[in-house]
Amino acid sequence: MRGSCEVRRLRYTAAIVLTLLLVACSSVPRESEPPRDAGSPIARSAAQLVGAPYHFGGADLQGFDCSGLAVYVYERAGVEIPRTAREQQRAARPVALDSLSPGDLVFFRIHSRQVNHVGIYVGGDRFIHAPRSGGTVSYGNISAGYYHKHFVGAGRFWNSEASPTAIPSPH
């Protein structure tokens, strides 16, 4: 009788171990949100450029257009992105407005049917952009007013790990 109790106990233990192994192997990890500060170096780099002159086609300290500003700050973070606002929107992974993180790009249609303006989100519904000829790199607001009306979406160029990683350009 003692032998049959031991056999039952071994079977019971084996069944529990097998069940635990199956449950552990079948769980799927949740896709996590990116750390809130993953794009912060990009946003800080953009903030340092507030006041720099607008220059059509510019992507350096001599002057910036909107997409050139995005290219410049992303390059400083070691991330290569496409050159134009439209190409940037196409290449970026879409992000919902309520999921924006600093460093994400925000896209606009201004007097156009296509995306033709981009800014770098910095938090608090604010973004940094190079708005127009004769202007300077400055802050804008996506929650109200002009840019709210023209906002069409946002995108991210890094994965859910702690640092930005390049997404291949469509070229």
Three-state DSSP class for 103? coil
59: β partners: 64
Summarize pLDDT for 122-136 with one digit per residue, the tens: 999 999 999 999 999
Centroid of chain to Cα 131 = 21
Q: Is 111 a catalytic residue?
A: no
Cβ atoms of 140 and 119 closer than 8 Å: yes
pLDDT of the residue at 97: 94
d(CA 73, CA 81): 10
Residues in the chain with pLDDT values less than 50: 20-34, 160, 162-163, 165-171
pLDDT of the residue at 170: 41
pLDDT of the residue at 51: 98
For the chain, what is the radius of gyration of the CA atoms?
Answer: 24
pLDDT of the residue at 158: 78
d(CA 23, CA 69): 49
Catalytic residue among 25, 55, 66, 150: 66
Catalytic residue among 5, 111, 129, 150: 129
Q: Is 129 a catalytic residue?
A: yes
Question: Which residue ranges form the domains of the chain, and what is each CATH number?
Answer: 40-156 (3.90.1720.10)
Q: Is 5 a catalytic residue?
A: no
Three-state DSSP class for 47? helix
